[in-house]
């Protein structure tokens, strides 16, 4: 009885196993057939990957060609008695290992580490810094054959609405490509120097630029560097659609002077002022279409004052100008505002040069010859 029970139980179990195995085999066969069928359906539906559009291919080409030139920079800096870690971007400018970046990326650095996209990691030394333009040159000891220098474009060739690309390391996400347009030209931003001098001819872009992008290139679709990504206008600390890039013409000049001379010399005109506004048009009885720079102060020791430019006079209640010189042109080039004057001086003049200012004064135009000095430290 007991044996019969055991035998019957064994047979019953064996039968159950046969059923289970048969079920699993059947499921496997069904699943395999279904997978093959699904794969055929997917293959029929998807086919080969679609070809890139012309603009997509252009973006991909620029990234492929330029990303080997772009580096991720990690620094340890001593600032106000504390040791701080920071990061940014930069790009190779020659085969001697010189890399251009923002001064605020490496300022005060005691250690600089440079990462290339091929995995190479090396130390870098600071060659020179220019706080006035927020630019710096560092150098790595890497074989020339391993370096891919960028090609500089000309900011004057840019037009508002033109597509631009940025490569950098936003929030540590290295070699990130973003795109946008040139939102405006000839903006001005503040440098890092204690003199609080402005940087002119700055490019405004809506290409996504965030912390870590600083020092990376802004590129046209030919893969040429047209700017060095530097600052953003933001209330949150991240991109809000307004980024600023230092123009390539200025960047190339600054880099060359740092490498050659160890420092950069800027011309100095010695004024403070602002754009002509409606309030000045009304208080000074100016023509409605007059543009230029209202000279609030011609610094006493400056070259403009020596040439005869006058500081503005204000009303007794300090609410309006009662007289003021208006600079309307430099060397015959009309000026719409102070940003254009800053740009012109930085791009086209050097200390010791002579420029002619066209000045609107008391309803008349006068010409003043100014001998530019070297910008004070």
Torsions phi, psi for 79 (to 5 deg): -135, 125
137 - beta bridge partners? 100, 128
CA 135, 137, 138, 140 torsion-angle sign: positive
Q: Two tokens at 67?
A: 């990303």
Among candidate residues 67, 74, 104, 248, the one labeled active-site is 104
Report the phi/psi class of residue 183: left, alpha or beta, with left for phi > 0 and alpha for psi in -120 to 50: alpha
Crossing angle for the helix pair 338-348 and 248-261, nearest 10 degrees?
40
Among candidate residues 67, 69, 208, 214, the one labeled active-site is 214
The question of whether 279 is a catalytic residue gets the answer: no
The question of whether 104 is a catalytic residue gets the answer: yes
Angle made by CA atoms 153, 243, 68, in degrees to the nearest 5: 50
Among candidate residues 134, 186, 206, 249, the one labeled active-site is 134
DSSP collapsed to 3 states, the chain: CHHHHHHHHHHHHHHHHHHHHHHHHHHHHHHHHHHHHHHHHHHHHHCCCCCCCHHHHHHHHHHHHHHHHEEEEEEEEEECCEEEEEEEEEEECCCCCEEEEEHHHHCCEEEEEEECCCCCEEEEEEEEEECCCCEEEEEECCCHHHCCCCCECCHHHCCCCCEEEEEECHHHCCCEEEEEEEEEEEEEEECCCCCCCEEEEEEEECCCCCCCCCCCEEECCCCCEEEEEEEECCCCCCCCCCEEEEEHHHHHHHHHHHHHHCCCCCEECCEEEEECCHHHHHHCCCCCCCCCEEEEEECCCCHHHHCCCCCCEECCCCCCEEECCEEEEECCEECCCHHHHHHHHHHHCCCCCEEEEEEEECCEEEEEEEECEECCC
Q: Two tokens at 150?
A: 């960028």
Active site residues: 104, 134, 214
């Amino acid at each position: 009885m007991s044996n019969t029970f055991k035998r019957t139980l064994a047979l019953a179990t064996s039968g159950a196993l046969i059923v289970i195995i048969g079920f699993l085999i059947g499921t496997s066969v069904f699943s395999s057939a279904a997978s093959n069928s699904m794969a055929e359906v997917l293959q029929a539906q998807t086919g080969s990957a679609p070809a890139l559009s012309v603009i997509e291919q252009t973006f991909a080409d620029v990234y492929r060609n330029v990303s080997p030139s772009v580096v991720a920079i990690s620094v340890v800096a001593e600032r106000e008695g504390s040791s701080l870690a920071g990061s940014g971007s930069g790009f190779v400018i020659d085969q001697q290992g010189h890399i251009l970046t923002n001064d605020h990326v490496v300022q005060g650095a005691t250690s600089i580490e440079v990462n290339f996209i091929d995995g190479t990691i090396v130390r870098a030394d600071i060659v020179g810094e220019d706080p006035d333009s927020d630019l710096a040159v560092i150098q790595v000891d890497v074989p020339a054959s391993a370096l891919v220098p960028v090609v500089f474009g000309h900011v004057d060739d840019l037009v508002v609405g033109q597509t631009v690309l940025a490569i950098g390391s936003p929030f540590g996400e290295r070699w990130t490509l973003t795109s946008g347009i040139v939102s405006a030209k000839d903006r001005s931003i503040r440098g890092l120097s204690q003199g609080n001098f402005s940087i002119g001819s700055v490019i405004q872009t809506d290409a996504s630029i965030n912390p870590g992008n600083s020092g990376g290139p802004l590129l046209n679709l030919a893969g040429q560097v047209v700017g060095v990504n530097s600052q953003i206008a933001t209330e949150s600390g991240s991109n809000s659609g307004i980024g600023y890039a230092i123009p390539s013409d200025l960047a190339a000049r600054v880099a060359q002077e740092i490498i050659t001379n160890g420092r950069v010399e800027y011309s100095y005109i010695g004024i403070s002022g602002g754009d002509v506004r409606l309030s000045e048009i009304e208080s000074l009885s100016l023509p409605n279409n007059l543009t230029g720079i209202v000279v609030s102060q011609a610094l006493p020791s400056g070259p403009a004052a020596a040439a005869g430019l006058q500081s503005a006079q204000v009303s007794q209640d300090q609410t309006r100008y009662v007289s003021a010189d208006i600079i309307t042109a430099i060397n015959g080039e009309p000026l719409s505002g102070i940003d254009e004057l800053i740009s012109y001086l930085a791009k086209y003049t050097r200390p010791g040069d002579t420029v002619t200012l066209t000045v609107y004064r008391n309803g008349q135009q006068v010409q003043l010859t100014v001998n530019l000095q070297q910008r004070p430290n």
